[in-house]
Amino acid sequence: MRELFEPASVAVIGASVEGNKVGNIILGNIIESGFQGPLYPINPRYQEVMGLKCYPRVSDVPGPVEMAVVVVPAKFVLQVMEECGQKGVKAAIVISAGFKEVGLEGAKLERQLGGIAHRYGMRVLGPNCLGLVNTHHRMNATFAREGPREGNIAISSQSGAICVVVLDWAANINIGFSKFISVGNKLDIDEGHLLEYLREDPHTKVIGMYIEGTDRGREFLRQAELTTKVKPVIALKAGRTSSGAKAASSHTGAMSGSDKVYDAAMRQAGVVRVGDIEDMFDLLQAFSTMPLPDGEGVAIITNAGGLGVMAADACSDYGLTLASFEPSTIERLKEKLPPAASLYNPIDVVGDADAERYDHAIRTVMDDPNVACVLALLAPTDLVDISSVAGTLATFAGSSPKPIVTSFVGGKEMAAPIDMLKAAGIPNYPSPERGIKVLAAMAEHRRSLVRKGSRAVEPTEADHEAVREVISSVRSQGRLQLSESEGKSILKAYGISTPREGTAKDLPAALELAASIGYPVVMKVESPDIAHKTDVGGVVLNIDDPQELERSYQVMLSKVREKMPKALITGVSIQSMVKGREVIVGMVRDDQFGPVITFGLGGIFVEIMKDVTQGIAPLDRDDVERMIRSIRAYPMLTGARGRRPGDITALAEIILKISQMSMEFPELEELEMNPVMVGDEGKGVTAVDALVTIKGEKQ
Amino acid sequence: MRELFEPASVAVIGASVEGNKVGNIILGNIIESGFQGPLYPINPRYQEVMGLKCYPRVSDVPGPVEMAVVVVPAKFVLQVMEECGQKGVKAAIVISAGFKEVGLEGAKLERQLGGIAHRYGMRVLGPNCLGLVNTHHRMNATFAREGPREGNIAISSQSGAICVVVLDWAANINIGFSKFISVGNKLDIDEGHLLEYLREDPHTKVIGMYIEGTDRGREFLRQAELTTKVKPVIALKAGRTSSGAKAASSHTGAMSGSDKVYDAAMRQAGVVRVGDIEDMFDLLQAFSTMPLPDGEGVAIITNAGGLGVMAADACSDYGLTLASFEPSTIERLKEKLPPAASLYNPIDVVGDADAERYDHAIRTVMDDPNVACVLALLAPTDLVDISSVAGTLATFAGSSPKPIVTSFVGGKEMAAPIDMLKAAGIPNYPSPERGIKVLAAMAEHRRSLVRKGSRAVEPTEADHEAVREVISSVRSQGRLQLSESEGKSILKAYGISTPREGTAKDLPAALELAASIGYPVVMKVESPDIAHKTDVGGVVLNIDDPQELERSYQVMLSKVREKMPKALITGVSIQSMVKGREVIVGMVRDDQFGPVITFGLGGIFVEIMKDVTQGIAPLDRDDVERMIRSIRAYPMLTGARGRRPGDITALAEIILKISQMSMEFPELEELEMNPVMVGDEGKGVTAVDALVTIKGEKQ
């Protein structure tokens, strides 16, 4: 990657003298950005381009070429790349379009391109991309109209158009970039590689990514987890919904994974996922210019009560706390604020507030230990000198130990003062809500930094041999679906308890079995001909004693015989009757992210209320606890409605075991325990049912 | 109100020659706005102000004075208003602050001000307000720095600062106003009165309101319901959350009602409630300049796939449909779009699209009957001439039969083209999501126009006398809480079925009673000493026959005697065992809005999942059906999980009856039927329990 981002020498293959050609713009951008190393235009048609000697082929260049920018038409790309490989080029940016995004032919061409790159060990950015900028290496290898200023934001985008949108936005707001990467079709380099590189990049303070789809979701998750421990990652994942996803796949041919899984992955990795591009801009601006808050409390300062109310509303919406001030803070505020001012949060410095009043209020609350960040609001009242307040606020840029953002709300009168704030690097947002939303995201990132301790979980001692035997036995029978008892034997191999149970051929045997299992029990009819036992009266719950068992046995058999006279009845199964709250724990292996663990309360909660949560294995204790707490029905587990609290510790264990199992046995394709009965605190949890599907033998 | 908004003559009491005084600015604004009638400055200290003859008191004015603007300090306001009354002034705008918002003394002064106004029949706007503008009467009676342009938006605001914010925003975006009203403390005129007036105002196309609290919530609801049938009402209600509400009450002293009730009221009235001031601006702009969509389908046109994906995502989020084009539309698109273009929604006209391509695509989709509205997106790609596209889009302003909004996403390069769009009156939003959100709100408003047919509901024939008797009997016993059987007798008076039931002193009587009620039954112990019957084994459900009743009777009594040996047992009650799905229907009388009807599924759904909905009585069938459908657990009522559908028609009836009852008996303070059992379709619903509280006698 070093050769891609900081090449010593660059060739532009397809450089052109024609002003509107990409091969002309890119060469011009590289020159204009002040690139220091040797730069070689390559084009058999010219002797010289932009005052530089032009070579027919890259192989004709006398010195070494570390990186090549390829802008020739798609049909020439393979040949050109072959030559690059022979020349010893280490990295290439393939700008050219006409690959995967145009259909099957293009996809084939792209695979061939990948083969060449692999053979020569070249890294490839693109194809079908806008290029790459590294401001600190003074290299703008894009064909964007306007190059970015130097700064500390790194951007990657799967859409070239979003790149230009971001550049144009940044030009307007005085924001600069460290790296700017258009990933295109991501043949080789994708977001995972970029995170790995940008994490270590000393010039990058915050990373923003526009993603439409990923091919290596799991690797992205892993790299994101490591990166967010060091710096914030903000992601806009488009194609969220079915209609959006359709547009995404016609756009770059990316397969969008299920959005819920992306959501779980990003949350688990500590990535700040934003819903739209404005949110992305808002956050980049704040993370780029401001320090992180060291807590949750916000101080709001306003010259208009109404704006303060809106900001306070937004605090509740976004989970930020209105700081309670120390008495000394109130005293100090009182010194310089007029009697009509409100000294409590939100601080109302009143409509005629001048710059000095704002300054005093801000400095005072900054000193309060309960204040972690500040939002300064301003309405263009008749009596306020907006520019002078903006000038005062600008003095906090760079020096403030706590983040401060502003919201000057209005239009015409605000334009010039807001430009002053922009120039100084104080983020200003057009509504109080957006200011609060940004501060809340900063506080959340800080929380995730603090939270991330060790991720090591003591693995359960499992009987791997037993699991392997079950899997190979099922496979040898040509099945992929395990029977309930086979499924349960896998659970048992991981120390997950299942109800005591057995089968009996007749009533005396059933009575004996029930006595050994212990009442209360459940009795089910056993018949290869009956799929839905409940429908034919073939299940009796909660049998308390031998008398009831005897009676139920007779009733059940007569009902079943009446409803299905031709069914072969081989006996009954007797199961210990397990009590507790029903939950579901499941695992599905996602193509992108690997094992996805699902958890929710059973029955209506999952089916009707869609109250489930997901996590990507391997999970640690912290992940699992957050999953359990995140469902809306969580109070059902903690003892709502007069019940005793459930055994949440044991529930967490069972989820961790499924996570571990899914990592240790890639053969397991799908697993669902429905229901798992969660007993009262200390009473453990029991998997009553198990549905397991395995993969076929490796081909 | 005519005299307030269109006075023939105006006096400014407290007019001043000093440039920075409010009494100077207002007089200047009235003059400058071109007010046509006689204008009288009043101030004993001057002979002349701004070239107009100044009078010492309003009583000294020779001609009639229809409206007075009062800007004297609070302590002089009563005397001045007294003089206005004597002079025959019909309406007054009291700008002066120092009333309710400053505490108890101020509140007293405000009450006295109200008394004077009432005595003379004067309407009062304010006190503590910024004033009022009627652009079509050429009267700007505010002290805002900048007067609004003429236009079709009416604004009312409970915060003066929000007024200036809106004015400054509008000045920047080329948007004009019909009326601009700062309501201040709302001593006399509030949002309800304004809606009544603005509904009929031919110059007003859309109404925007910033509300912190209401004193006459019910009247607001009534006026809003009438108004939204004629024109859209957009409301920003601040003080939504507990922390916000705290700031609101210190701001203007308004008591904020429970936000959930406001939400229900606005939804029911068809008011578009927005979450923040940017949403308010976004919607005002679109409703002001564009026609309503005649359906749900949106066509998206973009020169950048990424932006199209974002817009498509937003469609799902906001419930707008991506239109499916007619084959003829696709054909026509194909004629002028390049092969690389995507002809399906979102239409990608590709990065090098020129104005003509946009024009062709827009005109084509506008002709498609499946398209109700259009969103045009643009990214500042290198190859697009942004200004020329903006120029083309501008031609659709005013003439387009379907709404079209744009989202030119970027910053620096976008500024000038966006100004062109502003000038033309094409709403432009900085992100695709905001464009979609606006179109979705317009579609929603149209749906609510279409939906609103007759609101008449055939009232139930009820035995009012029986209800009155119960209430007076309970009152005569000095109680406010009705017993279960008293509560049920009120329900029965409205034809709400309750389980058949009765009490029996001994087993033979119980058997006889059960036989007459019909099995299955529920048996409960009757004892004045036992409050929690279930806890002592005093309730047996689901008794199927006499044998079981006999056995249960013995077991129950022995259990109860064992647990509470000293309790006096007077017998048992036998109740028909009602089956069905448990729901809750309740009514609470809100200070602001009157009877609030609550509905939700029973048990965990209400308690844990908070899955309830509210409506304000009187409800019509449409309101009730929407309430029932709006809960997340609604599928539980329609036959989810293999059950038969519930009797939703009968459920709607029972909610309508509670609505009617709450209107007919204002004495009923609170009523809860928990549970109501909803049987299968056609089987009716039964209120199993009733908890009723009445108001004390009128003092």
What ipTM was assigned to the predicted interfaces of this complex? Answer: 0.87
Chain A residues with CB-CB distance to B310 below 8 A: 238, 244, 276-277
State the nearest Cα–Cα gap between A273 and chain B, in angstroms.
14
Q: How far is residue A249 from each of residues A125, A168, A189, A212, B428, measured CA to CA in Å? A: 20, 26, 19, 8, 27
Question: What is the C-alpha separation between A652 and A660, in angstroms, rounded?
Answer: 12
Instruction: With CB atoms and an 8 Å threshold, state whether B411 touches A307.
Output: no
pLDDT of B504 strictly over 70: yes
Closest by Cβ to A161, choosing from B275, B277, B307? B307
Which CATH number is A144-289 given? 3.40.50.261
Spatial neighbors of B507 by CB under 8 A, at least 6 apart, are: B550, B553
The verdict on B611 touching A (C-beta cutoff 8 Å) is yes
Q: Which one, of A380, A296, A192, A173, lies nearest residue B167 by Cα?
A: A380
- Give the mean pLDDT of B9-31: 94
Give the length of chain A.
Answer: 699
Closest by Cβ to B379, choosing from A164, A303, A312? A164
Closest by Cβ to A161, choosing from B244, B304, B632? B304
The verdict on B57 touching A (C-beta cutoff 8 Å) is no
Instruction: With CB atoms and an 8 Å threshold, state whether A608 touches B632.
Output: yes
A 392-451 → B contacts, CB under 8 A: 409-415, 430-434
Query: Tokens in use for B212?
Result: 């912190």
Q: Say which amino acid occupies A53.
A: K
Spatial neighbors of A128 by CB under 8 A, at least 6 apart, are: A94, A95, A96, A97, A98, A99, A100, A101, A160, A184, A185, A252
Give the 3-state DSSP-derived string for A336-402, with helices as H, strands as E and coil as C: HCCCCCECCCCEECCCCCCHHHHHHHHHHHHCCCCCCEEEEEECCCCCCCHHHHHHHHHCCCCCCCC
Instruction: With CB atoms and an 8 Å threshold, state whether A168 touches B210.
Output: no
Name the closest residue on chain A to residue B165, using Cα atoms: A410
CATH architecture of B290-451: 3-Layer(aba) Sandwich (3.40)
Query: What are the backbone dihedrals phi and psi of residue B4, each rounded to the nearest 5 degrees, phi first?
Result: -75, -45
Query: Tokens in use for A649?
Result: 């510790």
Query: What are the backbone dihedrals phi and psi of residue B630, each rounded to the nearest 5 degrees, phi first?
Result: -80, -15
Instruction: With CB atoms and an 8 Å threshold, state whether B241 touches A317.
Output: yes
Helix (H), strand (E) at residue A186: none
Q: DSSP letter string over B579-612?
A: -SEEEEEEEEEETTTEEEEEEEESTHHHHTT--E
Instruction: With CB atoms and an 8 Å threshold, state whether A241 touches B317.
Output: yes
In terms of C-beta density within 10 A (0-12 exposed, 13-18 middle, 19 or more buried), how is residue A348 classed?
buried
Instruction: With CB atoms and an 8 Å threshold, state whether B380 touches A415.
Output: no
Spatial neighbors of B175 by CB under 8 A, at least 6 apart, are: B149, B151, B153, B169, B284, B285, B288
Chain B residues with CB-CB distance to A146 below 8 A: 412-413
Instruction: With CB atoms and an 8 Å threshold, state whether B316 touches A434.
Output: no
- Give the mean pLDDT of B24-50: 95
Give the 3-state DSSP-derived string for A71-121, with helices as H, strands as E and coil as C: CCCHHHHHHHHHHHHHHCCCEEEECCCCCHHHCHHHHHHHHHHHHHHHHHC
| pLDDT for position B241 | 67
| pLDDT for position B330 | 95
The verdict on B165 touching A (C-beta cutoff 8 Å) is yes
- Dihedral, CA of residue B273, residue B279, residue B285 and residue B287, to nearest 10: -30
| pLDDT for position B655 | 97
The verdict on A699 touching B (C-beta cutoff 8 Å) is no
Instruction: With CB atoms and an 8 Å threshold, state whether B309 touches A244.
Output: yes
H helix runs in B478-539, sequence order: 484-493, 507-517
Name the closest residue on chain A to residue B351, using Cα atoms: A161
3-state secondary structure at position B80? helix
Question: What is the C-alpha separation between A537 and A551, in angstroms, rounded?
Answer: 14
Please answer whether residues A268 and A260 qualify as being in contact, where contact means their C-beta atoms are separated by less than 8 angstroms: no
Q: Give ranges for CATH 3.30.470.20 in chain A.
A: 581-694
The verdict on B354 touching A (C-beta cutoff 8 Å) is no
The verdict on B255 touching A (C-beta cutoff 8 Å) is no
Which CATH number is A291-451 given? 3.40.50.261
In terms of C-beta density within 10 A (0-12 exposed, 13-18 middle, 19 or more buried), how is residue B511 classed?
middle
- Give the mean pLDDT of B449-476: 85
Q: Most A CBs within 10 Å: which of B99, B283, B309, as the mutation test of the A interface?
A: B309
Chain A residues with CB-CB distance to B305 below 8 A: 159, 161, 247-248, 250-252
Q: pLDDT for A354-394, tens place per residue?
A: 999 999 999 999 999 999 999 999 999 877 889 999 999 99
Q: Most A CBs within 10 Å: which of B313, B316, B581, as the mutation test of the A interface?
A: B313
Does B253 or A124 have the greater pLDDT score?
A: A124
| pLDDT for position A698 | 59
Closest by Cβ to A607, choosing from B250, B251, B641? B641
The verdict on B308 touching A (C-beta cutoff 8 Å) is yes
Handedness of CA A362, A365, A367, A371 (dihedral sign): negative
Q: DSSP letter string over A451-513?
A: H------PPPP--HHHHHHHHHHHHHTT-SBPPHHHHHHHHHHTT-----EEEESSHHHHHHH
Instruction: Share the mean pLDDT of chain B.
Output: 91
Closest by Cβ to A242, choosing from B168, B316, B604? B316
Which CATH number is B144-276 given? 3.40.50.261
Superfamily the domain A581-694 falls into: ATP-grasp fold, B domain (3.30.470.20)
| pLDDT for position B572 | 93
Closest by Cβ to B322, choosing from A146, A243, A312? A243
- Give the mean pLDDT of B438-457: 82
Name the closest residue on chain A to residue B345, using Cα atoms: A247
Q: Most B CBs within 10 Å: which of A169, A174, A313, as the mutation test of the B interface?
A: A313
Q: pLDDT for B169-180, tens place per residue?
A: 998 888 899 999
State the nearest Cα–Cα gap between B120 and chain A, in angstroms.
33
The verdict on B106 touching A (C-beta cutoff 8 Å) is no
Q: pLDDT for B123-137, tens place per residue?
A: 999 999 999 999 999
Name the closest residue on chain B to residue A302, using Cα atoms: B161
pLDDT of B453 strictly over 80: no
Q: Give ranges for CATH 3.40.50.261 in chain A.
A: 144-289, 291-451
- Give the mean pLDDT of B412-437: 94
Fold of B500-577: Dna Ligase; domain 1 (3.30.1490)
Question: What is the C-alpha separation between A559 and B610, in angstroms, rounded?
Answer: 41
Q: Which one, of A648, A654, A589, lies nearest residue A616 by Cα?
A: A589
The verdict on A143 touching B (C-beta cutoff 8 Å) is yes
Residue B569 has a CB neighbour count (10 Å cut-off) of 18
Closest by Cβ to A309, choosing from B173, B247, B603? B247
Q: Give ranges for CATH 3.30.1490.20 in chain A.
A: 500-576
Q: B209: which strand partners?
A: B156, B235
Closest by Cβ to A244, choosing from B242, B276, B313? B313
CATH architecture of A1-130: 3-Layer(aba) Sandwich (3.40)
Q: What pLDDT band is residue B247 in, cutting at 50, 70 and 90?
A: low
Question: What is the C-alpha separation between A500 and B171, in angstroms, rounded?
Answer: 76
The verdict on B347 touching A (C-beta cutoff 8 Å) is no
Chain A residues with CB-CB distance to B146 below 8 A: 412-413
CATH class of A500-576: alpha beta
CATH class of B1-129: alpha beta
Q: pLDDT for B613-637, tens place per residue?
A: 999 999 999 899 999 999 999 998 9
The verdict on B276 touching A (C-beta cutoff 8 Å) is yes
The verdict on A571 touching B (C-beta cutoff 8 Å) is no
Q: Which one, of B335, B336, B328, B332, lies nearest residue B358 by Cα?
A: B336
Spatial neighbors of A120 by CB under 8 A, at least 6 apart, are: A84, A85, A86, A89
The verdict on B37 touching A (C-beta cutoff 8 Å) is no
| pLDDT for position A618 | 93
Instruction: With CB atoms and an 8 Å threshold, state whether B243 touches A313.
Output: yes
Instruction: With CB atoms and an 8 Å threshold, state whether B410 touches A173.
Output: no
What is the percent of chain B where pLDDT is above 90? 72
Locus of tokens 């432009």: B428
- Give the mean pLDDT of B489-500: 95
Chain A residues with CB-CB distance to B414 below 8 A: 168, 172
| pLDDT for position A453 | 60
pLDDT along chain A (699 residues), means of 10: 95 92 94 96 96 96 96 96 97 95 91 97 95 96 88 94 90 91 96 97 97 90 94 91 57 58 92 93 96 95 92 92 96 92 91 92 96 96 88 91 95 92 94 96 90 70 95 92 90 95 92 93 87 81 90 91 89 90 92 91 82 92 93 88 87 96 95 92 91 79
Question: What is the C-alpha separation between B676 and B656, in angstroms, rounded?
Answer: 14
Q: Give ranges for CATH 3.30.1490.20 in chain B.
A: 500-577
Q: Which one, of A679, A608, A539, lies nearest residue B581 by Cα?
A: A608
Chain A residues with CB-CB distance to B380 below 8 A: 145, 164-165, 168
The verdict on A516 touching B (C-beta cutoff 8 Å) is no
Query: Tokens in use for B599?
Result: 């509905």
Question: What is the C-alpha separation between A376 and B366, in angstroms, rounded?
Answer: 45
Name the closest residue on chain B to residue A212, using Cα atoms: B306
State the nearest Cα–Cα gap between B40 and chain A, in angstroms.
24
Locus of tokens 């590189």: A197
Chain B residues with CB-CB distance to A641 below 8 A: 603-604, 607-608
Closest by Cβ to A431, choosing from B278, B306, B431? B278
Chain pair A-B, CB pairs under 8 angstroms:
282
